[in-house]
Each structure stands twice: as C-alpha cells, then as structure tokens.
Amino acid sequence: MANIPTLAEGRIGIRPLRLRDTRDLDAALTENRAWLRQWEATNPSGFTSHDVRGSIRSLQTNARAGLGLPFAIELDGRFVGQLNVSGITYGSLGSATIGYWVTRAAAGHDATPTAVALATDYCFRVLGLHRMEVCIRPENAPSLRVVEKLGFRYEGLRRRYIHINGMWRDHFCFALVAEEVPGGVLARWMAGEVPAGQGSIPAEALVEAERALPI
C-alpha cells in the first residue's frame, strides 16, 4: 500500500497490513483470545464483529484517506501482531495515536517496543508529525513497560476513556514530541540514553487511578 513503509531492526519488523494477512491475523486472535481479551476494544452498543477481512479493509480505507497507518508486526519474518497509527492530524496539531498488540509467544522479545519506536520515528521524520501519543490501561503492566523503555512521558489519567472488554476503562496517557528525540526513538533506546524515570508514572497518579468514579 502507498505511503506505508516496511521497516526493520534486527529480528523485528513492521510492514503494511494486507488482505492476505487475514488467515494469520484470524489465527493469532483466536489462539491468543484469553491473552488479548482483557485489552480488546469493544463496542458499547454490544454489537461485536469478527469479520477480520472487513477490519483490514476498513483500516486500509482509513489509510488511503491519510488518517492511519495499519502495520503487521513480524518476529523472524512471522506475523506476531498488529500496530496501528490512528487519528493522524496534520497542520497546527501534527499528531497521531499508536495502539498495538502482540501474541503471547512474541512477548519478551522486544517486538512491541521496537515496533513502536520504528513507527514513531517514521511519523516524526517522514510524515513530519510533532506529537505521538499512547494510551494504556493502568492494569496493563506489559504495555506500561513499553512506554517506560522508550521514554514516553506520562501526561495524565483519562477517565473512562475507551470501551475495553465490555466496559468504559480509565487510561494513562503518554506522549513524545519530536524535539525530545532529535536522534530518533529507536536510537535513543538502543543507546541506553532514555532519561531515567521519564516513562514512569508519578505515585500520586497511581493513587488517583485506584479511585474509581461513581457508577
């Protein structure tokens, strides 16, 4: 697909998500259902579609409109997950949001932080975006480790932000702007130059997240 690159670092790569990935994507989602369900976006109306091919088509349509970049994540050339750059906005805002998942077997191989770093560097350097955001549920420890490794700054708690696994869930918000990583997100991480504590969550924020809003 036009304007969606293929990028790699070592064993890990990201490439355009294609219709021919339907079988691999469906198999990965099915085999990892228990692993992924707790973090899976759902429809508050209750309607849930399992049309994987239709989902890929929708992401591709969004990409053709310049609003997103749907990537497949690969480890040693095998499909192991998905990364979506969404909500791309140019002009005075110049921002986008990153969401991702990997199979349980791929966890622990740095597939996710590498994929996020590759996508963020592309958005900053090639698309000319200024700000990249990642929003994560407070309970999602593996995903929180990703932003900590890469040094995404904690920006705040968003109450009942996204409908996940059947309920509106709170999310922590993290972000980077281009000026913070002039040499690139991937290079900074690989060189061990992420500022100490930059991706950590303040203690008061953890306390705030534990205080549930009234139903």
Please report whether residue 1 resides in a domain: no
- Output the domain CATH number for residue 162: 3.40.630.30
Predicted confidence band at 46 (pLDDT cuts at 50, 70, 90)? Answer: low
Please report whether residue 2 resides in a domain: no
Q: What is the pLDDT of residue 15?
A: 98
Please report whether residue 25 resides in a domain: yes
Q: pTM for this structure?
A: 0.93
* C-alpha to C-alpha distance for 121 and 129, rounded to whole angstroms: 10
* Nearest C-alpha neighbor of 143 from the set 185, 121, 173: 173
Please report whether residue 215 resides in a domain: no
Average pLDDT value for residue range 1-5: 73
Predicted confidence band at 66 (pLDDT cuts at 50, 70, 90)? Answer: very high
Please report whether residue 21 resides in a domain: yes
Predicted confidence band at 214 (pLDDT cuts at 50, 70, 90)? Answer: low
Please report whether residue 17 resides in a domain: yes
Average pLDDT value for residue range 142-156: 95
Percent of the chain with pLDDT over 70: 96
**Number of structural domains the chain divides into:** 1
Length of the chain: 215
Q: Which residue has the tokens 């549930």?
A: 212
Please report whether residue 214 resides in a domain: no
Average pLDDT value for residue range 136-160: 94
Predicted confidence band at 91 (pLDDT cuts at 50, 70, 90)? Answer: very high
Q: Residue 161 belongs to what domain range?
A: 7-209
Q: What is the pLDDT of residue 2?
A: 52
Cα dihedral sign, 114-123-84-159: positive
Q: Are 109 and 11 in contact (CB under 8 A)?
A: yes
* C-alpha to C-alpha distance for 18 and 21, rounded to whole angstroms: 5
Tell me the three-class secondary structure of the chain, residue by residue: CCCCCCEEECCEEEEECCHHHHHHHHHHHHHCHHHHHCCCECCCCCCCCCCHHHHHHHHHHHHHCCCCEEEEEEECCEEEEEEEEEEEECCCCCEEEEEEEECHHHCCCCHHHHHHHHHHHHHHHCCCCCEEEEEECCCCHHHHHHHHHHCCEEEEEEEEEEEECCEEEEEEEEEEEHHHCCCCHHHHHHCCCCCCCCCCCCHHHHHHHHCCCCC
Rg of the chain, C-alpha, whole Å: 17
Predicted confidence band at 27 (pLDDT cuts at 50, 70, 90)? Answer: very high
CB hemisphere CA count around 110 (13 angstroms): 14
